[in-house]
Amino acid sequence: MFCYQCQEASKGVGCTIRGVCGKPDDVANLQDLLIFVLKGISRFDLIAREKGLSPKRTDRFIVESLFTTITNANFDKAAFVKRIQDALALREEIKAALVANGVEIPADLHESATWTASTEAEFDAKAPSIGVLSTENEDVRSLRELIIYGLKGMAAYAEHAMNLGYEDLTIAAFAEEALVATTNDALTADELVALVLKTGEYGVNVMALLDKANTSTYGNPEITKVNIGVGKNPGILISGHDLRDMEELLKQTEGTGVDVYTHSEMLPANYYPKFKAYKHFVGNYGNAWWKQNEEFESFNGPILMTTNCIVPPKDSYKHKLFTTGAAGFPGCPHIADRPEGGAKDFSAVIEMAKTCAAPVEIETGEIVGGFAHAQVFALADKVVDAVKSGAIKKFFVMAGCDGRMKDRDYYTEFAKALPNDTVILTAGCAKYRYNKLPLGDIGGIPRVLDAGQCNDSYSLAVIALKLKEVFELNDINDLPIAYNIAWYEQKAVIVLLALLYLGVKNIHLGPTLPAFLSPNVANVLVNTFGIAGVGSVEDDIKLFMA
């Protein structure tokens, strides 16, 4: 295996024997093989789309498959074997439809469009030869992988929107175009850089689509005090990002005597009006994803992982960890997809919860959130006045991910050291580094404004664009907003590319720059977009406040 897609890549280079995330090498290889076959599907499906011959299930298949390969989403080898078999069958079905309709099959096919096999052993044998390192030139490899990681993040968001009935057909079509481009040796570095930015454009589109899906279905997030203590009933802890799963779980647990709590990236579910209506939705339990080994144990009840980030579970709660959708872990029960027009069946989770003790209280009190675009616009006069009067000197976008590495303490220290006339705009699980600090408020505006999940970084961009309009500026970079973003997995990659596409410059990215950026590609990002890493808290505050 060779995997360098996340911030925790071994030694800042890449994982080669087993992932720091716990991903075994055979699973890593099969994830690469799945991406490889998706490239082959895409080659034929782009032609099939033009001719109206693309099978209906293709978009969802491409999007779901990309999503399953995101860091920490799925560790289940059997799931990948099945998916590769399905992928090969889909590719051949599309090809057969083209032939049957007299469409000429191109002669110059990449191996991803022609290689075939059917057994796990054959997949294991093939996979090591088509991985990341099969692209020899390190700059081309870097750009290709940057595009693919952006697509993975984009796919995750597209899947959540699809689950709510919101689909934009151009998104899967673009994913196919970009996947095929990564097999084209004739593309120049400049052309690949242009494709990186185009990926960012689709990142904006997909986050806008998901925002529309979430807010049209569940209402606009509003200022909310979220309970972080516990009640007396047994509970189910739901994590990940899928709001449709959240809704179905709340409905099915109503009146059963089982309470529902959110963990990590599901915290923002507490901000939606539709979910607040459920009396047995108690609040949020615990912190960011990487604390789950302790927190899932003390929770006592079953846990439902709707997406990444899974930490390989301890034996003490492994049988209580349910996965669903793109998530999977061998030996953990998996809740099947919803039937057409129906809901998922969470009865196994609910029945197990009834036999469990109530959660152990690990914290008490409340945290405040719900500052997505509509709520911030409702406060716009107050915010604008505070900027004009100088009460707020600067905003810091500190969106993104949290992770287990010690050097992420930087973000807690940075938040503590920020001057009192600054406000943090956050989204994603990065917030857990500072959302429980007593940072106070500025004239009633909290100093940490949480917009929601990582995809709600879109809200932060919308807020920035609104401020640009209010202050009549020509350039988004003239706003008093600094960007100090923490990344971990590939959703943060699409958020970053989306910000670059929107013209945001001088983004600081940490705690380390991606291992998949070759020195030359990193230089392009530094010179063109002013991307920088992070330094010491003291130096960075001086730099940002200058």
Binds 264, which of ligand SF4, ligand FS2, none (CB < 5 to 8 A, cut-off by type)? ligand FS2
Cα diameter, the chain:
70
Closest approach of Cβ 154 to ligand FS2, in Å?
Answer: 12
Structure tokens at 467: 């401020």
Torsions phi, psi for 333 (to 5 deg): -65, 140
Residue 464 and residue 471: Cα distance in Å, rounded? 11
Residue 323 and residue 220: Cα distance in Å, rounded? 28
**356 marked among binding-site residues:** no
**Chain residues that interact with ligand FS2, rule: CB under 6 A:** 241, 264-265, 289, 308-309, 401, 428-429, 453-454, 488-489, 491
Nearer to ligand FS2, 153 or 234 (CB): 153
Binds 8, which of ligand FS2, ligand SF4, none (CB < 5 to 8 A, cut-off by type)? ligand SF4
Q: Which of residues 17, 21, 316, 327 is near ligand SF4 by CB under 6 A? A: 21
28 contacts ligand SF4 (rule: CB under 6 A): yes
Question: Residue 527 burial by CB count (10 A; 0-12/13-18/19+): exposed, middle or buried?
Answer: exposed
Closest approach of Cβ 541 to ligand SF4, in Å?
Answer: 30
Q: Are 440 and 422 in contact (CB under 8 A)?
A: no
Helix ranges restricted to H, 164-188: 169-181
* CA-based nearest residue to 203, from 228, 178, 234, 231: 178
Nearer to ligand FS2, 76 or 489 (CB): 489
* 3-state SS class at 514: coil
Per-residue binder mask for ligand SF4 (CB under 6 A), 62-91, x = binder? ---------x--------------------
**95 marked among binding-site residues:** no
Binds 21, which of ligand SF4, ligand FS2, none (CB < 5 to 8 A, cut-off by type)? ligand SF4
248 contacts ligand SF4 (rule: CB under 6 A): no
Q: Which of residues 4, 322, 329, 414 is near ligand SF4 by CB under 6 A? A: 4
402 contacts ligand SF4 (rule: CB under 6 A): no
Residue with the CB atom nearest ligand SF4 in the bound state: 19
Closest approach of Cβ 493 to ligand FS2, in Å?
Answer: 10
Spatial CB neighbours of 381, under 8 Å, sequence gap ≥ 6: none
Nearer to ligand SF4, 17 or 100 (CB): 17
Residue 70 and residue 72: Cα distance in Å, rounded? 6
* Residue count, binding to ligand SF4 (CB under 6 A): 14
**241 marked among binding-site residues:** yes
Stretch that binds ligand SF4, among 4-12, 222-230, 389-397, 493-501 (CB under 6 A): 4-12
Q: Please, what's the b/e burial string for 367-403 (b: 16 or more CB within 10 A of its CB; e: otherwise)?
A: bbbbbbbbbbeeeeebbeebbeeebbebbbbbbbbbb
Residue 488 and residue 496: Cα distance in Å, rounded? 12
User: Residue 397 pairs with which residues in a beta bridge?
Assistant: 425, 483
Residue 461 and residue 468: Cα distance in Å, rounded? 11
Q: Please, what's the b/e burial string for 307-345 (b: 16 or more CB within 10 A of its CB; e: otherwise)?
A: bbbbbbbeeebeebbbbbbbbbbeebbbbeebeeeeebe
19 contacts ligand SF4 (rule: CB under 6 A): yes
Closest approach of Cβ 495 to ligand SF4, in Å?
Answer: 17
Binds 433, which of ligand FS2, ligand SF4, none (CB < 5 to 8 A, cut-off by type)? none
Binds 5, which of ligand FS2, ligand SF4, none (CB < 5 to 8 A, cut-off by type)? ligand SF4
Per CB under 6 A, residues contacting ligand SF4 are: 3-6, 8-10, 15, 19-21, 23, 28, 71
